[in-house]
Amino acid sequence: MRCCKQKITSLLGDQKPQVTFTCDKEDATCQFQFWVDQRESFYCDLDQCKSSAEFDEHQNSTSYVCDNIKCSCISDRMLCGQDGSVDISDFLKESIRGPAKFECQQDEGKSNDCQFREPQMDDLISALIGDSSILLTCRSGECLYHTEVPGYERPVKRINTPLIAGIIALCSLFLVAVILLTWYLSRRQFKYGPIHLDDSDDENAKLMADHKPASLYFRDISYALNGKQILKEIGGLARPGEITAIMGASGAGKTTFLDILARKNKRGRVAGDFYVNGEKISDSDYKSFIGFVDQEDTMLPTLTVHETILTSALLRLPRNMSRAAKEQRVVEVEKQLGIHHIRDSLIGSEEGKGRGISGGEKRRVGIACELVTSPSILFLDEPTSGLDAYNAYNVIECLVTLAKTYNRTVIFTIHQPRSNIVALFDRLILLARGNTVYSGPFHQCQDYFDSIGYSCPPGFNIADYLVDLTMHAGSVDDVDDGTIFADNSSVGPSSTRAVKSIGTASIVSTNDDGNNLPPTPSRPKGRRHDSVRKQQERELFTRRRQPVDTAASSDAGLEDPGSFRLHRQSPHDDPHDLPPAALPLTALDEIVQAFAESGIADSTRDEISQSIEAACLANGANATENSAHSSGINVGAMAVLSGYLFYGITDDIAGFQNRLGFERLLFVRERANGYYLPVTYFAAKVLFDIVPLRIIPPLLMGSIIYPMTGLVADFEHFYKFILILILFNLAAAAICLFIGIVCKDHGVANLIGSLVMLFSLLFAGLLLNHNAIPKTAVWLQSLSIFHYAFESLIVNEVVHLTLVDNKYGINITVPGAAILSSFGFDNNALWSDVFCLGTFAVLFIILAYTAMHILLVERR
């Protein structure tokens, strides 16, 4: 029979190999002979052999299994000591022991493929030429001794160049088509034809009919975190058609209280009772008819206003509601909030090229995303934060219109609003250090504080007065046993004690300057003289930022209004006036500016100048003319340039947060608001983000690079090459996705991801030989996706190659499999490596989803 497959045949060149295999069933013995150019090279005697055969209509197979085998070489023959040939006689005598197996399988109309297997011989064949065993081809009906000279040459498949060109062209056209289609869909406008009758009006009417006005009554709301009491028995009432404002100084617990009213997932322990229209309801039912607008906008800057609101409608409105009805609902909400004229404008961002819509318009878009579901109760956290007075008033006026016209219950937190905004409030809840100072109708607020001795001065904004009044309110340890809202409108004794505690801490006057000026209730002045003096000594961070109107403030005498200057209080200033607030220490540019203008910086600059001058005089030459110092000066100049390039980067979220970090926050917010289930988002993320980015680029790159780099010109090797690239990309993406989900800080995630990839690259087999790895650490190579990808790729391309080098007139032939074995690669591991890459990809995708489902939950 003909031996052998292409690898051994190419290794022997013009010398054709043959194999004979004969068996005697009665003696249970067989004989294996290997021939080169019709001359026997070596033979093997086998005994204790068992045979088996299976036959069917289109296929038959024969197998011989022998327990013992003994092989011998014929001297001065090929492979056995002939000049220019290797000598395997010692290997045959000492290593070949058995068992051996000879099996053939023949399909109808095809050649009879056989193989001879023996463990030690298989290892030698695999190491030298990359085959798993001695592979044979038999042309007769049975595997008998064949005396024909093998002359049949199996043709080598050549890569189809027109096919590759066609693949490249089709991939390019597909990519262009996808880009054009995406651009068209992102820019097209929804155009509505003439008025026609459909079900959308009925569906909208049904949605509005399902809306029921909701009164929210709450009492004894308490919250503790890590043993610290944050909120203490707060109660109140919010009615349909009214807006309820929650006010208080920073740290009073406004946002925490609003989160608890909206039944957000809190880290601490929440206590209290909630009643909607007089009944207690479950959290799932409660969240189905409320809307929540966060203080920070988390909208995609690349979408238009209409697309942003429509996305919320498509994901949150009932599934049986038609798309036309949902789009009509979006248009109605846009008109209600006065943003219909900007429906085609991009959201934009301050960091991007296009700024997009204004802050006030962006807040109204966020409100619109909640209103499309027609919530009965709408919660908003600081809706006027970061807005100028005009836009802040527009937002609150929009909320008032919404509450009055559509009978909604609106509850929001706000920090020191202007008087024209305060006049729009219906109800007020005033907090101080987690205690209720006032809760009831806003029009009764001023009368109540007048009755307990805290009158707001004429012309003074009552909101500013109330916040200042509660700034130094002492904590109230004892609480009232009765309900605060016995009459549903006024306050109880607990709030009175909270305000009375202010008086004990603020109506003490000190007259260090000799002026007997009575303190006014609008500016509580406690025993802060010592702290003021200490604060005034902090020259570096105590600065006046804005010009002060002398007609409206006692802080007169500022130098250069509008500029940043260090300021020390003069002896003639009122000692009770609080100094300006210190700037946040996280504002790097402000700290640098303050240091640059301080006396410390001036003295430091003088010392540096004196040191440089003394060094130049001592050296007798200018530093710039001294070649010994020029390299140091150049390095310093480069350092200054690098510092200048990175000076403008701010140390806040806007300066460091990338798209991935923003997307994480967006998912958490949308999941909490009921946009979709985690599995829905993850499936969309994998199918339309990760998979296209890991499949299309390898297809395009491989189709172009493979024929250009002279790799094996065979379609079978080409598709294996593409398959390995795709699986490796998917495995790497899945690992990075898992790390990005587990690590909240994207800087830490990048660091860990880089370390994991470097570890994987170290054990790939390129930088560290497999045979050089200690036996105790070999198992680490099984954790390297680079190892699986690199080994499978190199085996796919090199194992079939035969290198021939002519030295001193002698052709030295080296099989590619022998080279791979010397580097520690397994010549038969291609498909096992492919399987491991697929396993890594699937495993880490599952782990990534599990981590996302468990970890990415909104906890406030």
Residues 269 and 351 in one domain: no
**Residues 32 and 44: beta-carbon distance below 8 Å:** yes
* CA distance linking residue 720 with residue 434, whole number of Å: 66
Give this prediction's pTM: 0.59
- Does a structural domain hold residue 196? no
53 SS3 class: strand
Does position 651 have pLDDT exceeding 60, yes or no? no
- Does a structural domain hold residue 720? yes
Mean pLDDT of 40-56: 85
Tokens found for residue 639: 């350092």
Mean pLDDT of 26-37: 86
pLDDT at 192: 43
Tokens found for residue 308: 């942003």
User: Which range among 15-19, 770-774, 810-814, 820-824 shows the weakest confidence by mean pLDDT?
Assistant: 810-814
* CA distance linking residue 252 with residue 542, whole number of Å: 25
Half-sphere exposure of 444 (CA within 13 A, CB side): 10
**Phi, psi at residue 857, to the nearest 5°?**
-120, 135
Tokens found for residue 394: 């527009």
**Residues 148 and 22: beta-carbon distance below 8 Å:** no
In Å, the largest CA–CA distance within the chain is 131
- Read off the pLDDT of residues 55-102 as tens digits, 9 standing for 90 and up: 776 777 888 899 888 888 888 888 888 877 778 888 888 888 888 888
Q: How many domains does the chain have?
A: 4
Residues 800 and 677 in one domain: yes
- Does a structural domain hold residue 653? no
**Residues 50 and 68: beta-carbon distance below 8 Å:** no
> In this structure, which amino acid lies at residue 342?
I
Q: How confident is the model at residue 836 (pLDDT cuts 50, 70, 90)?
A: very high
* CA distance linking residue 727 with residue 746, whole number of Å: 25
Residues 778 and 748 in one domain: yes
Which DSSP symbol is given to 688?
A: I
The residue from 100, 118, 138 where one domain ends is 138
**Residues 452 and 496: beta-carbon distance below 8 Å:** yes
Question: If you count them, how many residues does the chain have?
Answer: 860
**Residues 291 and 379: beta-carbon distance below 8 Å:** yes
Could you tell me which residue, 459 or 307, shows the higher pLDDT? Answer: 307
Any idea which residue has 């490596």 for tokens? Answer: 833
Among residues 801, 596, 809, the alpha carbon closest in space to that of 129 is found at 801
Q: Domain of 521: which CATH number? A: 3.40.50.300
Residues 127 and 112 in one domain: yes
* CA distance linking residue 397 with residue 392, whole number of Å: 9
Q: How confident is the model at residue 731 (pLDDT cuts 50, 70, 90)?
A: very high
pLDDT at 661: 59
- Does a structural domain hold residue 619? no
Residue 570 neighbours by CB distance under 10 Å: 7
**Residues 328 and 212: beta-carbon distance below 8 Å:** no
Residues 103 and 44 in one domain: yes
**Phi, psi at residue 70, to the nearest 5°?**
-140, 125
Mean pLDDT of 791-819: 82
* CA distance linking residue 739 with residue 644, whole number of Å: 33
Mean pLDDT of 118-139: 78
Q: How confident is the model at residue 656 (pLDDT cuts 50, 70, 90)?
A: very low
- Does a structural domain hold residue 790? yes
Could you tell me which residue, 545 or 650, shows the higher pLDDT? Answer: 650
Residues 362 and 410 in one domain: no
Residues 725 and 849 in one domain: yes
pLDDT at 190: 46
Pairing of strands 409-413, 427-432: unpaired
Does position 623 have pLDDT exceeding 70, yes or no? no
pLDDT at 81: 80
Which of the listed ranges 183-192, 345-354, 690-699 does the model predict with the highest average pLDDT? 690-699
Alpha carbon 188 to its chain centroid, in Å, reads: 30
Residue 775 neighbours by CB distance under 10 Å: 6
* CA distance linking residue 852 with residue 737, whole number of Å: 10
Domain coverage including residue 520: 213-289+377-390+401-527
* CA distance linking residue 304 with residue 186, whole number of Å: 9
pLDDT at 841: 94
Could you tell me which residue, 323 or 553, shows the higher pLDDT? Answer: 323
Half-sphere exposure of 275 (CA within 13 A, CB side): 11
Residues 231 and 336 in one domain: no
Q: How confident is the model at residue 163 (pLDDT cuts 50, 70, 90)?
A: low
Alpha carbon 666 to its chain centroid, in Å, reads: 11
User: Which range among 181-185, 332-336, 545-549, 604-608 shows the weakest confidence by mean pLDDT?
Assistant: 545-549
The residue from 138, 155, 173 where one domain ends is 138
> In this structure, which amino acid lies at residue 331?
V
**Residues 501 and 237: beta-carbon distance below 8 Å:** no
**Residues 508 and 529: beta-carbon distance below 8 Å:** no
**Residues 542 and 580: beta-carbon distance below 8 Å:** yes
- Read off the pLDDT of residues 387-403 as tens digits, 9 standing for 90 and up: 888 888 888 998 998 89
Residues 689 and 705 in one domain: yes
203 SS3 class: helix
Residues 408 and 346 in one domain: no
* CA distance linking residue 120 with residue 845, whole number of Å: 41
Contacts of 378 (CB under 8 A, 6+ apart): 290, 291, 292, 293, 367, 370, 371, 399, 402, 408, 409, 410, 411
- Does a structural domain hold residue 734? yes
- Does a structural domain hold residue 491? yes
**Residues 492 and 448: beta-carbon distance below 8 Å:** no
* CA distance linking residue 93 with residue 82, whole number of Å: 17
Tokens found for residue 121: 């011989």
* CA distance linking residue 581 with residue 544, whole number of Å: 9
CA dihedral over 672, 675, 681, 683, signed as positive or negative: positive
Tokens found for residue 128: 């030298």
Could you tell me which residue, 708 or 483, shows the higher pLDDT? Answer: 708
The mean pLDDT of the chain is: 75
- Does a structural domain hold residue 146? no
Residues 249 and 313 in one domain: no
- Read off the pLDDT of residues 533-555 as tens digits, 9 standing for 90 and up: 344 334 333 333 333 333 333 33
- Read off the pLDDT of residues 705-721 as tens digits, 9 standing for 90 and up: 888 888 888 888 999 99
Residues 250 and 364 in one domain: no
Pairing of strands 810-815, 435-441: unpaired
pLDDT at 137: 74
**Residues 427 and 460: beta-carbon distance below 8 Å:** no
Any idea which residue has 């609106």 for tokens? Answer: 410
* Helix (H) or strand (E) run with residue 92 in it: helix 89-94
* CA distance linking residue 395 with residue 274, whole number of Å: 28
Contacts of 704 (CB under 8 A, 6+ apart): 168
The residue from 478, 508, 527 where one domain ends is 527
* CA distance linking residue 213 with residue 401, whole number of Å: 15
Could you tell me which residue, 605 or 80, shows the higher pLDDT? Answer: 80
